[in-house]
């Protein structure tokens, strides 16, 4: 699953959350990481991917 | 009254008693709770002490039985072997079951190593009992005690296995946590996306580089089970700075593919680099992780290398 501030980073159909700002993105990523117990990997500024390493 | 005369006339009884006692003693000295914290609870120990007593008694009674030409008594020992194989299964099952609840798991290779040790220590107890019982019955109680002490000394030698420090030089390496990447020295470890987590790595993490001392060591260090054992042991001795639901905070070990050196990143609860260094050096070399490719690739008849 992806989290981004820029919808053009992701293709149609992929599970993604579009954040309003960089701060919002950090908050959301932090929450999703804790909720899903999956770590957040940063691909570039404004684009995170949630990875299940278990 | 127990007199010298009585002792001489009951040599077999003395043999069996001494054999069983020394077999049991050998099991006691081999049953230690060290930093591995297992078995640390009284009930776990009682299981192994009881089995040790049985092992000692089994080994001890074999000698008088054989001396009275009761050769079928040897089948008794095969029964014991079956029994102690079950000990291995029991240990494997228990450790595998509790491994899921560990913050840093032991890993299958380590568990297998521990289970094998539990089984083999029972055989060492049987062997001690057999030797002591034989010596005491044939040569007299004095020789039984003498050989018993020698056997316990040999058994203690068996407990000293090789360590990581025998195959690799352990040295500190700087941990950098920048741009979502965590590296130890020049070895890339993993991607950590969130800034607060990177901050924890900057403050808490300690990095090491394990440089293999030989070609054999290079292959051994690459074993995933051995790497997990290193992470588990260090986390046991220094605690670990992580919790359930904190997926980014994981101790990790990765190879430098070019050189074969192993980068180790740990997150100790107690930030003590010297203790951590000692902990890594003391990690036992797992039997099933050891590889000796130079021996396997040696041409026939060539004794020069290996």
Domains in chain A: boundaries: 2-51
* B188 shares a domain with B140: no
**Across all residues in chain B, what is the average pLDDT?**
87
Query: Chain B: which residues have CB within 8 Å of chain A?
Result: 180, 191-196, 244-248, 250
Task: Report yes or no on B142 lying in a domain.
Answer: yes
- Whether residue B91 sits in one domain with residue B176: no
What letter does residue A19 receive in the DSSP assignment?
-
Residues of chain A with Cβ-Cβ distance to B194 below 8 Å are: 26, 29-30, 33, 40, 42
Domain contains B304: no
Same domain, B81 and B169: no
Contacts A29 to B, Cβ<8 Å: 193-194
**Cβ A37–B195 below 8 Å, yes or no?**
no
Domain boundary among B160, B176, B194: B160
- pLDDT value at B36 more than 70: no
Residue B138 has pLDDT above 90, yes or no: no
> Average pLDDT, stretch B60-74?
83
* Predicted confidence (pLDDT) at residue B190 exceeds the cutoff of 70: yes
Question: Is residue B38 located within the same domain as residue B119?
Answer: yes
Give, in degrees to the nearest 5, the angle at Cα B139 between B138 and B141. Answer: 105
The DSSP bridge pattern shows strands A16-18 and A2-4 to be: parallel
CA distance B235 to B35: 11
Same domain, B128 and B210: no
ipTM value of the model? 0.89
Establish if A29 touches chain B: CB-CB under 8 angstroms. Answer: yes
Question: Does residue B72 form part of some domain?
Answer: yes
Q: What percent of chain B has pLDDT over 70?
A: 94
**Buried/exposed B153-188: b ≥16 CB within 10 Å, e otherwise:** eebeeeeeeeebbebbebeebebbbeebebbbbebe
Contacts of A26 in chain B (CB under 8 A): 194-195
Among B111, B128, B160, identify where a domain stops.
Answer: B160
Q: Same domain for B261 and B229? A: yes
**Domain assignment of residue B72, given as a range:** 4-160
Whole-number pLDDT of residue B37: 61
Count how many domains chain B has: 2
User: Which of B195, B196, B247 faces A39 most closely, judged by CB atoms?
Assistant: B247
DSSP-derived letter for residue A38 is -
Mean pLDDT of B165-186: 93
Q: Which residue has the higher pLDDT, A12 or B135?
A: B135
Taking only the tens place, the pLDDT of each residue in B74-107 is: 787 888 888 888 888 988 998 899 898 889 999 9
Are the beta carbons of B194 and A33 separated by less than 8 Å? Answer: yes
> How close A13 gets to chain B, by Cα (Å)?
23
Among candidate residues B160, B192, B227, the one where a domain is terminated: B160
Whether residue A11 has pLDDT greater than 90: no
Residues of B within 8 A of A42 (CB-CB) are 180, 191-194
Q: Give yes or no: residues B219 and B234 share one domain.
A: yes
Q: How far is CA B143 from CA B10, B11, B132, B203, in A?
A: 15, 12, 8, 61
What is the least distance, in Å, from the CA of B135 to any CA of chain A?
Answer: 56
Residue B169 confidence (pLDDT): 94
Q: What pLDDT score was predicted for residue B306?
A: 44
The pLDDT, as a whole number, for residue B44 is 80
Give a yes or no: residue B303 inside a domain. no
Distance from CA of A43 to the nearest CA of B (A): 8
pLDDT at residue number B287: 85
What is the per-residue pLDDT for B110? 92
Question: pLDDT tens, B267-291?
Answer: 999 889 999 999 999 998 888 888 8
Asked if residue B305 has pLDDT above 60, the reply is no
pLDDT band at B68 (very low <50, low <70, confident <90, very high): confident
Residues in chain A: 54
Indicate which of B105, B190, B194 best probes the interface with A, i.e. most A CBs within 10 Å of its own CB. B194
Asked whether residue B118 falls in the same domain as residue B237, the answer is no
To probe the interface with A, which of B103, B179, B247, B252 has the most A CB atoms within 10 Å?
A: B247
Stated pTM of the model:
0.85
Q: Does position A46 have pLDDT exceeding 80, yes or no?
A: yes
């Amino acid at each position: 699953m992806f989290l981004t501030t820029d919808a053009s980073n992701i293709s149609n159909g992929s599970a993604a959350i579009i954040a309003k700002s960089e701060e919002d993105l950090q908050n959301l990523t932090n929450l999703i990481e804790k909720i899903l117990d999956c770590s957040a990997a940063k691909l570039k500024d404004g684009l995170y991917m949630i990875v299940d390493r278990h | 009254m127990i007199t010298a005369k009585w002792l001489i006339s009951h040599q077999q009884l003395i043999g069996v008693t001494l054999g069983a006692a020394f077999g049991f003693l050998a099991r006691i000295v081999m049953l230690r709770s060290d930093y591995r914290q297992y078995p640390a609870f009284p009930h776990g120990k009682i299981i192994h002490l009881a089995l040790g007593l049985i092992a000692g008694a089994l080994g001890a009674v074999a000698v008088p039985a054989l001396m009275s030409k009761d050769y079928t008594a040897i089948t008794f020992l095969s029964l014991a072997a079956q029994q102690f194989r079950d000990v291995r299964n029991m240990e494997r099952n228990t450790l595998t079951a509790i491994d899921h609840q560990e913050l840093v798991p032991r890993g299958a290779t380590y568990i297998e190593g521990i289970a094998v040790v539990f089984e083999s220590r029972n055989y060492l107890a049987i062997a001690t009992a057999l030797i002591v019982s034989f010596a005491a019955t044939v040569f007299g109680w004095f020789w039984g005690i003498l050989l018993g002490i020698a056997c316990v000394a040999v058994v203690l030698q068996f407990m000293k296995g090789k360590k990581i420090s025998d195959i690799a030089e352990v040295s500190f390496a700087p941990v950098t946590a920048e741009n979502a990447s965590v590296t130890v020295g020049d070895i890339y470890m993993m991607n950590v996306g969130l800034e607060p987590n990177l901050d924890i790595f900057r403050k808490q993490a300690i990095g090491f580089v394990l440089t293999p001392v030989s070609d054999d060591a290079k292959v051994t260090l690459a074993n995933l089970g051995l790497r997990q054992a290193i992470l588990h042991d260090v986390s046991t001795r220094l605690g670990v700075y992580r919790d359930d639901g904190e997926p980014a905070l994981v101790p990790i070990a990765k190879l430098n593919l070019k050189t074969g050196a192993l980068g180790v990143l740990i997150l100790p609860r107690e930030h003590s680099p010297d203790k951590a260094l000692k902990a890594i050096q003391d990690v036992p070399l797992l039997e099933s992780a050891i590889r000796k490719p130079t021996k396997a690739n040696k041409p026939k008849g060539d004794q020069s290398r290996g």
